[in-house]
Structures are given as structure tokens and as C-alpha cells.
Amino acid sequence: MDKRAPARSGLSRRSMLAGAAAGVIVPAVAAAASSAPASAAPGITRQITMYAEKIPGTDLYGYGLEPGKPTIPGPLLEMYEGDTLEIELVNNTDQRLSIHPHGVNYDTASDGAPFNNSFNNPGETRTYIWRSRTQYQASNGFWMPGSAGYWHYHDHALGGDHGTAGLLGGLYGGLIVRKRGDLLPSKQYTVVFLDMMVNHKIAPETPIFEANLGERVEWICIGHGNLPHTFHLHAHRWADTRTGMLNGDNDRSHVIDNKNLDPGASFGFQVIAGEGVGPGAWMYHCHVQLHSDQGMAGVFLVRNADGSMPPGAQEAIDRFKGHGHGGHSAHSGAVAADPNGRPLPPSIPPGGAQKHPNAGGGPLDTTGGAAAKQAPPPPPAPPAPHDHGGHAGH
């Protein structure tokens, strides 16, 4: 049975599970931040701690919810409209860096950009405050949108005032702002297309995302870098709406299975794994042909409902692993490059995917490349000078 987001705020079991390991969750405050507009629906304020650290054995960086556990992508953060998220960012590196969000409200001190003198110096801890809101009626009578959507966050300070080196180094992650009443998924996967990489990987080392037949799977798709992309998922389709679902039998929204994913853009959707097509190994990839040929492709493995491997799936995965992708260098020792000849960062182990505790609990599923998640809280039981010229971020 599908689970829906609760109608009120509080601390969810998933928040407690994610926070207990990292020791970052504090009791919720049942009020919006004082700086939020008066017309915004009040929510709660949550406080979490994140750590920016070097990935051991590489030149890459990652965000994490625990010291010593950075991932690429970083933790998937979630909140409900009207809530506030206070992020204490601990910079455990020798580089200046920050965290900058898309889709939510913040003041200049929480911009996460050197332009507003908002960043962490090496070894520094700084708090960033993100606010969300419900839709509201403006003074002119028009309705303005709320914050609900599939968004993202990233560094905006490492190596230069635009954080180019931070993005190329792996400092990015997903952010979901939900409406109360939204359907909750069984599993979630964050997919980031950055230049010619998927989650900083090149096929056949790209993540294999898994689900059992009939599970509700949520995809968070993010674009970064300098190249335009599209995201295509084989055998599954979704409505081009905020959630990927139709709002009723009279909803005539466009239905798609491929969507543009340009730098700085993000979208998300939910699908029922294998619905109408059955279990099997299905591809996801960029549909710019040069890009997919160069390694921007991966596998969505839909297992049988009991978790067993469907016939032919392992053989398909083996063919994928043995397929020659033009940009792949994991086994050759060569340096992979983008179409402009720039070297790509080395690969790192992906983070683990997690089953949504609100949708039935169960152990962590560490197959695939989704990062750890920080959930939105449902109801409780009974939040330098700027130089444009000749800037070389990396």
C-alpha cells in the first residue's frame, strides 16, 4: 500500500534512523523561523550536522552525515513546505567551501557564495538556514508558488567564487521539499549527470539501482557541469508534473520517458518498478548519443517481487559490464576525458541506497549509487572579492 506524507510535522522514523547514526537530529521546534514571511504556513525547525571531507585515496570531496563518511552524491535531504532546515556544516578540509541550495528561501548569510561572504574557511564550522513555504496569495491577488519540488544543493566556493572545482570534485547532493499528503516511495535514487559522468562514474562502473517488482521508486535527477543532457529510463514513463504522477483521471499532463537535464537543472518523479513490463534489467542513460556511447549509462535492475533475480537479467548486466564504452578508463589505466579534452575526475565507490522506512522499514539496500538520506519529519507521536576575469576554478 502506498504511504502518504503526513498532514502535520514532526520527527519521522527515517529522520531518527538517519540521524541516530550521525548524531545530528535534535528535537523539533514547532514554529517557523522568525525571518519567514508572515503569510507562510508555520512548520518546524530541524537541525542537522553535515561534514565536508576529502574522499580517501582520491582528489575528490563529498558531504556526509557522519565524520569520515563522505559520499558522492551527498546525503539526500528532505523537508516539508513550511519547515526550516538549519545545517551546521563542518569543513574538515584544507579548502574554502560552502553549501548552496536551490528551490528554498535563505538570507545572504546562508547564500553559500563568496559574493555574500558566505562560506566555510578551512576547518571552520558554519550554520546555513534554509526556509520553505507553502503557496500563498500575494498582495496583488495573484497566487505565488510554494517550495515543493525536487531541488539540489552544491558547493559554491571551492577553487573560486562559483565553486566550479567543488562541483567537479563531488560536492553536490539532492534536496526534496514535499507537500503534506504526497505519496512516499519505497526507494529513492539520486542521479547526477556532470559533464560525461553519472554520479562521478563512467560505465560500466556507473551505479546499478535496484528495486523489487511493484515497489514505488523515486528518482531525483540533477544536472551539473558544462554539457546539456537528457535523462531516459527504459520501459518506464511518468507524467511531466511535479511528482511524475497524474492528479486524477481527467489530468491530461504530458507523459514522458525522456527529459532534458541541463546544468543547474533538477527534476524528480516516481514510478512503479516493472509495472506493465515485468522484472528485468533496464537501462537508464543520457540520450545524447555521443554521451551514452562515452559511458553515460547505467542499469535499473527490477527484481522479482520476492527479490530473486529474473531470467536473463544477470546476462544483460554481464553484457553491460563487458560493453566497450568510449570514455571508460577504469581497467585500461588511461585518463578519461570530456569532448573538450579535459581530464575527468577518478571514480569513487558509490554511497548506499536505502529503503524508505516510512514505507515498510527493512534493512538498508547498499546496491546502487544513491546516497544516505535525511528525511522530512511527519507528526510527532501522542530547518570576499569577486573576480570574473580569467578565473580558473580547477
Q: Where are the domains positioned within the chain?
A: 3-248+255-374
Report which of 196, 212, 244 is spatially closest to residue 353, judged by C-alpha positions.
Answer: 212
- pTM value is 0.78
Phi, psi torsion values for 172, nearest 5 degrees:
-160, 160
CA atoms within 13 A of residue 222's CA, in its CB half-sphere = 33
The three cell numbers locating residue 186: 519505497
Alpha-carbon span 188 to 28, nearest angstrom: 24
Upstream peptide bond of 204 is cis (omega within 30 degrees of 0): yes
Q: What is the pLDDT along the chain (394 residues), one digit of tens a residue?
A: 577 766 543 333 333 223 333 322 222 322 223 233 333 446 899 999 999 999 999 999 999 999 999 999 999 999 999 999 999 999 999 999 999 999 999 999 999 999 999 999 999 999 999 999 999 888 888 999 999 999 999 999 999 999 999 999 999 999 999 999 999 999 999 999 999 999 999 999 999 999 999 999 999 999 999 999 999 999 999 999 999 999 889 999 999 999 999 999 999 999 999 999 999 999 999 999 999 999 999 999 999 999 999 999 999 999 999 876 665 443 333 334 444 434 444 443 333 344 443 333 332 232 334 445 565 555 433 334 334 444 333 3
For residues 183 and 4, is the Cβ–Cβ distance under 8 A?
Answer: yes
Provide the H-helix boundaries in 254-379: 289-293, 313-322
Phi, psi torsion values for 162, nearest 5 degrees:
-110, 0
Domain spanning 3-248+255-374: CATH 3.40.250.10: no
